[in-house]
């Protein structure tokens, strides 16, 4: 136990805490302290596993009074490792994961420790859905508070566009409900402002009818014409059509010929959420781009797009996110050439925005990038300390190649990249308004283990 946390202090917290308190000498401490990000070895002083709002409030007040660094964890997917903290207190919400669906009202209350996969399965049982990202093990609270870009975003909006209310434990230990009528300024800030304002313990979502989708992997050769055509087809297609387009070496997939393994390919995760009888026509433009290496796109239940994650997978990579307008043929040629200049696993990923995302005013939520048309992510996986510098230079050079003047960034895909990049996630007046709300609800900046917006003043 660190010098900053005494045994009497922890014993005092136990008297007000009904959940689990995990300390470094507990047998499951090492398993519980691990986050998804590789290359880090976090050692919190205390891991608090609350069972209810009262437990969360007790842990928040304990951290504040003890002067401990405080981290909040749901799924643990933070690209900066912010779901944990050395020598501090981690509020680990994974024991709070109830999903209560109201089919008649088409809403659901979801506890913050639930995952996207669990929530999607629970709502699908009623023929309903709310859009999250694309990974089943991601925590609901983390992806929601940053915006929530996923398979249903173009048709039904971001996750935050479907958030109706949230229950929040504030820095002073109060528990409040934020919605359009109660604490509306806090509700605005929660919808895209990340974990800056408090510990969100429950979220109420609007649900949409969805009996199934046509989706899965489509693997195509990585030619410039395929890449440019794929992006254009998504941007010009119906809102119900979306895909995550990855240009990368083909993994050793069992259904792909061995001679294709390691060869640059366009590996797309496709989703058509419109009427099933219209799927073939909607998918025809991308299927016509080239003879597929593999085409696994078929009618499936929506939860099948959220397979369970591998708990042993802890990638170490250099990654950067950006926003851009389009990918024409010359840019596609440059991207494919750039990918050929590095060995190992590397990827340029593109996602079409627009649709319902762009029909929300930019100042309606703290996610302000409503006019951006594409999101890009560039990553190179690191195999050891000797290749990090080379891979960092490659990533930064590739981002510069893709840069079309949109200075924005998606906060959920930021790593530990410094305050200027956090500013990029919250442009102009959005930053000022977030800082003002922060000054009201967390003036001491207790919640700073995040992509932090300090309180105004």
Q: Which pLDDT does position 1 carry in this prediction? A: 44
What's the distance, CA 310 to chain centroid? 17
Which residues, given as ranges, of the chain have pLDDT below 50?
Answer: 1-3
Q: Which pLDDT does position 381 carry in this prediction? A: 95
Going along the chain from its start, the domains and CATH numbers come out as: 7-95 (3.30.43.10), 99-209 (3.30.465.10), 213-413 (3.40.462.20)
How far apart are alpha carbons 379 and 392 in whole angstroms? 9
Q: Which pLDDT does position 4 carry in this prediction? A: 61
Both structure tokens of 301? 């239940």
**pLDDT 10s digits, 382-430:** 988 889 999 999 999 999 999 999 999 999 999 999 999 999 999 999 9
- The long-range contacts involving 84-88, CB below 8 angstroms and separated by at least 24 positions, are 84/33, 84/35, 84/40, 84/42, 84/44, 85/42, 85/44, 85/449, 86/42, 86/43, 86/44, 87/2, 87/4, 87/43, 87/44, 87/45, 88/44, 88/45, 88/46, 88/63, 88/449
Q: Which pLDDT does position 311 carry in this prediction? A: 87
Q: Which pLDDT does position 84 carry in this prediction? A: 97
Predicted TM-score (pTM) of the model is 0.96
């Amino acid at each position: 136990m660190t010098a900053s946390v005494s045994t009497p202090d922890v014993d005092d917290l136990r008297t007000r805490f009904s959940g689990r308190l995990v300390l470094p000498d507990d047998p499951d401490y090492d398993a519980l302290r691990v986050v998804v990000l590789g290359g880090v070895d976090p050692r919190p002083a205390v891991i608090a596993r609350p069972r209810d709002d009262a437990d969360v409030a007790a842990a928040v007040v304990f951290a504040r009074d003890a002067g401990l660094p405080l981290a909040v964890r749901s799924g643990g997917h933070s690209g900066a490792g912010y779901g944990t903290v050395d020598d501090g207190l981690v509020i680990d919400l994974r024991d709070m994961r109830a999903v209560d669906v109201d089919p008649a009202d088409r809403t659901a209350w979801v506890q913050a420790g639930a995952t996207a996969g669990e929530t999607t399965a629970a709502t699908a049982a009623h023929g309903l859905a709310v859009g999250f990202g694309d990974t089943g093990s991601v925590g609901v609270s983390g992806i929601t508070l940053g915006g929530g870009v996923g398979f249903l975003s173009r048709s039904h909006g971001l996750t935050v566009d479907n958030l109706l209310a949230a229950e929040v434990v504030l820095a002073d230990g109060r528990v409040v409900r934020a919605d359009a009528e109660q604490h509306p300024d806090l509700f605005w800030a929660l919808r895209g402002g990340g974990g800056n304002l408090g510990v969100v313990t429950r979220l109420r979502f609007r649900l949409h009818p969805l009996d199934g989708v046509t989706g899965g992997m489509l693997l195509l050769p990585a030619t410039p014409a395929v890449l440019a055509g794929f992006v254009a087809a998504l941007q010009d297609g119906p809102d119900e059509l979306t895909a995550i387009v990855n240009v990368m070496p083909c993994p050793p997939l069992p259904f792909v010929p061995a001679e294709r393994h390691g060869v640059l390919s366009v590996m797309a995760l496709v989703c058509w959420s419109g009427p099933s009888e219209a799927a073939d026509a909607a998918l025809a433009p991308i299927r016509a781009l080239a003879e597929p290496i593999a085409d696994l796109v078929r009618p499936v239940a929506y939860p099948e797009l959220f397979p369970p994650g591998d708990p042993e997978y802890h990638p170490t990579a250099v990654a950067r996110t950006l926003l851009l307008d389009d990918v024409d043929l010359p840019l596609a040629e440059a991207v494919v050439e750039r990918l050929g200049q590095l060995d190992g696993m590397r990827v340029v990923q593109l996602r079409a925005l627009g649709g319902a995302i762009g029909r929300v005013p930019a100042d309606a939520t703290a996610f302000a990038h409503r006019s951006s048309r594409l999101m890009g992510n560039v990553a190179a996986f690191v195999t050891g300390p000797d290749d990090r510098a080379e891979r960092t230079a490659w990533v930064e050079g590739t981002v510069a190649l893709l840069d079309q003047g949109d200075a924005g960034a998606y906060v959920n895909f930021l790593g530990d990249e410094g305050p200027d990049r956090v500013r990029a996630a919250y442009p102009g007046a959005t930053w000022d308004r977030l800082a003002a709300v922060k000054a009201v609800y967390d003036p001491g900046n207790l919640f700073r283990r995040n992509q932090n917006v300090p309180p105004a003043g």
